[in-house]
Amino acid sequence: MACRPSTAAASTETLAGEPHVTFVLHDSDVASLARLDPDRDWREFVTGERAWVLQTFLRLRAAGLDASLSERLPRAGIAVFSASHRAKLARGPVQRTDAFLLATRQDRRETLFADAEVVQNPAQANDATRLHVPHWPQPGLIPRDAARGDRLRRIEYKGFVGNLHPEFQDPAWPRFLARHGVEWVCDGKVYRQDTTDGLQLQWNDYRDTDLVLAVRPMSADLHLRKPATKLCNAWLAGVPAMVGPESAYRALRRDASDFIEVSTRAEAEAAVLRLLEEPGLYARMRQRAAERADECTIARVTERWMEVLEREVPQLAVTAPVRRRHRLPLLVRNAAGRAQRLLRARR
C-alpha cells in the first residue's frame, strides 16, 4: 500500500483492491495526536483507546499503510475504532456507511454494530469475525541494566492499581521483601478512563527492575479479556516475571523458565525465597526472557496488523451478510446485534 499520511476523513475507495484505512478516535484534536511519536511521547498512550487506535495508526502509517486519523466514521474503506467509544459512534453523525467496521474490543464486551473485532487474548478469537492481534509492547521501553547481574534486589509492578491483586497492596508484602533485602516498587495509577494521564509513571523504565510482578485479582475465567502485555514487556526488558493464573500468559508458556505463576501472596513469597536461594534459577529466567523477546516486538505486532488489514478484513468484507448490514443505520445494527445476543444467551 502507498503511504498517504493524513488526518482528514477517509477517501471513497471501496474494499476492492487496496482499501484506505481510517483510525477513528473520539477526540477533537486528531491533528495534534497524529504528530505524536509513541516512543518519545509514550505517556500519551496509557489508556486502551490510545494504545489500540492511536498507536496502531502511528505505527502502521510509519510502516507504509494507507491510513488516516479521524474523529468520525468514514463513508467507505476500513474503519478501526475502540470499543470504548462505541456508544458515542453509534449515536454520532455518521449513521450509514459502506466502511468495514473493525472494533478493537480491549477488555470490553462485543461491539454489536461492528463487522469484526480485534481481540487481545487468543482464547477470544475464532476463524470468522474475532481476530487476535497481540497488544503493542510498552512504547519507549528501556531494558534492564545488564550490570545488575543475577541478583534479585527489586520487584516492580507497572500498571493500573485496580489490576493488582489486593494481597500485594497489603503492607505485609513490602515488609516481607524488606526482611530479605528486596525493594518493592508499585509504579501504579488509578484508572480514570479518558482523564487518565501518565505524568507520574515510569512504565517504560526497567533499568533497575529485577523481577516484574503481574498478579491480578482472581477471575474464574482466567481473565479471558486480558492480554499478555506485562509478560511480553518483561521479556523485552530482559526481566524475569511472576504472573497470575491467566489464559493469555498460559498460552505463551513453552518452558518452565518462561515465568513463575502464583495465585496468592504466600505463593509469591515462596517463589521469592526460591529465587534468592537458587541464583541459577534467576539466571535461567533472565536468559529465557532474552530468548522469548523476539516474539513480542513492535515489528511482530506490525506484521500481524498488516495481515489483518491487508488480507483478512478484505476477505471478510465481500461476504453477503456484511454487505447487507451496510444498508442499515448504526443504531438499527446495534439493536439487531443486541437481539441476537439475547437469543444466544437463552439457548
* Statement to judge: residues 70 and 202 lie in one domain: no
Q: Of 296, 321, 336, which residue constitutes the final position of a domain?
A: 296
What confidence tier does 57 reach under pLDDT thresholds 50, 70, 90? very high
Contact 69, 34 (CB under 8 A): yes
The Cα–Cα gap between 58 and 46 comes to 15
* Statement to judge: residues 164 and 269 lie in one domain: yes
**Is the pLDDT assigned to residue 177 strictly greater than 50?**
yes
* Statement to judge: residues 276 and 172 lie in one domain: yes
The Cα–Cα gap between 247 and 261 comes to 11
Q: Of 296, 318, 337, which residue constitutes the final position of a domain?
A: 296
- pLDDT single digits (tens) 25-46: 987 799 999 999 999 999 999 8
What confidence tier does 101 reach under pLDDT thresholds 50, 70, 90? very high
* Statement to judge: residues 319 and 257 lie in one domain: no
Mean pLDDT of 71-77: 93
- pLDDT single digits (tens) 84-99: 999 999 888 888 898 9
Q: Which residue has the higher pLDDT, 194 or 55?
A: 55
**Is the pLDDT assigned to residue 180 strictly greater than 70?**
yes
* Statement to judge: residues 150 and 283 lie in one domain: yes
Residues 6+ apart with CB under 8 A from 257: 281, 284, 285, 287, 288
Which DSSP string corresponds to 96-155?
Answer: ---SEEEEE-TTS---TT-SEEEESSGGG--SSSEEE-PPPPPTT-B---GGGTT---EE
Mean pLDDT of 323-328: 66
- pLDDT single digits (tens) 256-293: 999 999 999 999 999 999 999 998 999 999 999 999 99
* Statement to judge: residues 64 and 93 lie in one domain: yes
**Is the pLDDT assigned to residue 198 strictly greater than 70?**
no
Q: Which pLDDT score, from 0 to 100, does residue 141 have?
A: 97
> For the domain that residue 292 is a member of, what is the CATH number?
3.40.50.2000
Please indicate, yes or no, if residue 3 is contained in any of the structural domains: no
* Statement to judge: residues 112 and 130 lie in one domain: yes
* Statement to judge: residues 242 and 336 lie in one domain: no
**Is the pLDDT assigned to residue 159 strictly greater than 50?**
yes
* Statement to judge: residues 126 and 171 lie in one domain: no
* Statement to judge: residues 288 and 212 lie in one domain: yes
The Cα–Cα gap between 36 and 49 comes to 15
Work out how many domains the chain is built from and give that number.
2
Q: Which pLDDT score, from 0 to 100, does residue 19 have?
A: 84
Please indicate, yes or no, if residue 10 is contained in any of the structural domains: no
Domain enclosing residue 290, as ranges = 146-296
* Statement to judge: residues 91 and 111 lie in one domain: yes
* Statement to judge: residues 222 and 284 lie in one domain: yes
Please indicate, yes or no, if residue 248 is contained in any of the structural domains: yes
**Is the pLDDT assigned to residue 13 strictly greater than 60?**
no
